[in-house]
Amino acid sequence: MRPVPLSNPPNPWDSTSVEYLERAPEVKLDVYEDRTRTILAKNDSPDVGFTYSVNPYRGCFHACAYCYARPGHEYLSFGAGTDFDRKIVVKVNAPELLRAEFRKKKWRRQTVVFSGVTDCYQPLEASYRLTRRCLEVCVEARNPVAVITKAPLIERDIDVLQALARVASVHVTVSVPLWDQEKARAVEPYVATPTRRMRIVRTLTDAGISVSVNVAPIIPGLGDEEIPKILTAARDAGATGANYVLLRLPGPVAQVFEERMRAAMPLRVERILHRIRETRGGKLYDARFGVRGQGEGEYAAMIRNLFLATASRLGLRVGCLMVDEAVTTDAKDGDARLEQGGQGEQGEGEQGEKDEQGEKDGQGEKRRNAPDARPKQLTFMVSAK
């Protein structure tokens, strides 16, 4: 694992900040084991197509420049930059907590999404196996599941996914925001290549698993031009549906994204920022419900029309395929509203609007004034060299 220089936006929770006069120190992976008391996150955002999610990990090694989950790390007294990428919180008791939730009389077998915040199949899952164990709990409880990921590691769990398909239902969404490999590497430095992600789609569909592709987030001025290539590859790989989410840059994410784009694409970054502002009323972000996932203005409409026209031509169903009452539409219906299925971003899930502490873009300032908003559950740390 290549160390990266420390770089975090100022944390609004901290009363002090540090500036390095010379080169910043390098950051290696730190893993924090969290014995949290709850595991089901309940979402009430009208922009998200599911209610319940399980997030076994906070922070993500994929280090996607655009990840909208970064602000949640600040509530742990970490930073939203390299801390988010390299200080990973692992909820080691997630399977046991999920089993306890399913045993409650009030539980009605609603669809549970893995995961609405960071990728549940990021590299640490290879050793911790928390997502797999949680899925096994879902099989035991015959509970419907949806998964959002970018990681080939999901192929390890095909046997569990097939078992879920037999006893309940399961749907997998693979996030592919860019098709050009060099662009993808610049924005998502530790994620599998786009072509490798399409092999995930093929492998899962060959195994009888329902799969869709999320073109998320679409980065105006960079990723929108690749929508036809992504959707064509998705159709060829066996995907039956597709969705998209426009780039979202809440709070410190805007600074992280701009800094990394200036470093990776110095000749193109101004065009990208200009196009983002075209879709956000002159700003880099608009947190209003109903707008933040799709944007406004002529350029946002162009992106939407291109996506819908391409999906229609390829015969891909458009909409959120992971909810209890899935809302879908024929792609030819230009007036139908796309359901937002996360950035998959996690994340990308891209990837849920709310993590276990309840942070939401539209309530960020209120949360920062709440005296008890920071969790104090971290109990053990292992440094992985």
Q: What is the pLDDT of residue 328?
A: 40
> CA-CA distance, 293 to 309, in Å (whole number)?
19
Residue 207 has pLDDT above 60, yes or no: yes
Peptide bond into 266 cis (omega under 30): no
Residue 307 has pLDDT above 90, yes or no: yes
Residues 201/239, Cβ–Cβ less than 8 Å: yes
Query: Which candidate, 295, 286, 66, 300, places its Cα nearest to that of 183?
Result: 66
Query: How does pLDDT run across 72-87, given as a tens digit for each residue?
Result: 999 999 999 999 999 9
pLDDT range class, residue 2, cuts 50, 70, 90: low
Max mean pLDDT among 23-27, 59-63, 285-289, 369-373 falls in 59-63
Q: What is the pLDDT of residue 374?
A: 33
> CA-CA distance, 52 to 254, in Å (whole number)?
27
Q: What is the pLDDT of residue 26?
A: 83
Q: What is the pLDDT of residue 123?
A: 96
Q: What is the pLDDT of residue 276?
A: 97
> CA-CA distance, 113 to 53, in Å (whole number)?
4
Residue 335 has pLDDT above 60, yes or no: no
Query: How does pLDDT run across 57-71, given as a tens digit for each residue?
Result: 999 999 999 999 999
Query: How does pLDDT run across 337-374, given as a tens digit for each residue?
Result: 333 333 334 433 333 334 433 333 333 333 333 333 33
Residue 271 has pLDDT above 80, yes or no: yes
Alpha helices (H) in the chain, listed in sequence order: 82-86, 94-102, 125-128, 130-141, 158-167, 181-187, 194-206, 227-237, 253-264, 269-278, 297-314, 345-348, 364-368
Residue 266 has pLDDT above 90, yes or no: yes
pLDDT range class, residue 19, cuts 50, 70, 90: confident
Residue 258 has pLDDT above 80, yes or no: yes
Q: How many CB atoms lie within 10 A of CB 274?
A: 12
Residues 75/18, Cβ–Cβ less than 8 Å: no
Q: What is the mean pLDDT of residues 12-31?
A: 78
| Average pLDDT of the residues of the chain | 84
Residue 36 has pLDDT above 60, yes or no: yes
Residue 31 has pLDDT above 80, yes or no: yes
Q: What is the pLDDT of residue 338?
A: 39
- Domain ranges across the chain: 32-353
Percentage of the chain lying above the pLDDT 90 cut: 69
Q: What is the mean pLDDT of residues 112-128?
A: 94
Q: What is the mean pLDDT of residues 137-161?
A: 97
More confident residue, 289 or 378: 289
24: phi then psi, degrees, rounded to nearest 5: -65, 150
How much is the pTM?
A: 0.83
Q: What is the pLDDT of residue 340?
A: 38
Q: What is the pLDDT of residue 237?
A: 98
pLDDT range class, residue 319, cuts 50, 70, 90: confident
Q: At what angle do helices 297-314 and 269-278 cross, to 10 degrees?
A: 90
Q: How far is CA 253 from CA 11, 159, 322, 353, in A?
A: 12, 37, 26, 14
Percentage of the chain lying above the pLDDT 70 cut: 81
pLDDT range class, residue 110, cuts 50, 70, 90: very high
Query: Which candidate, 238, 251, 175, 232, places its Cα nearest to that of 211?
Result: 238
Place of tokens 């989950």: 69
Q: What is the pLDDT of residue 330?
A: 43
Q: What is the mean pLDDT of residues 312-320?
A: 90
> CA-CA distance, 175 to 34, in Å (whole number)?
27
Residue 116 has pLDDT above 50, yes or no: yes
> CA-CA distance, 248 to 172, in Å (whole number)?
22
Peptide bond into 77 cis (omega under 30): no
More confident residue, 180 or 348: 180
For residue 110, give the 3-state DSSP assignment: coil
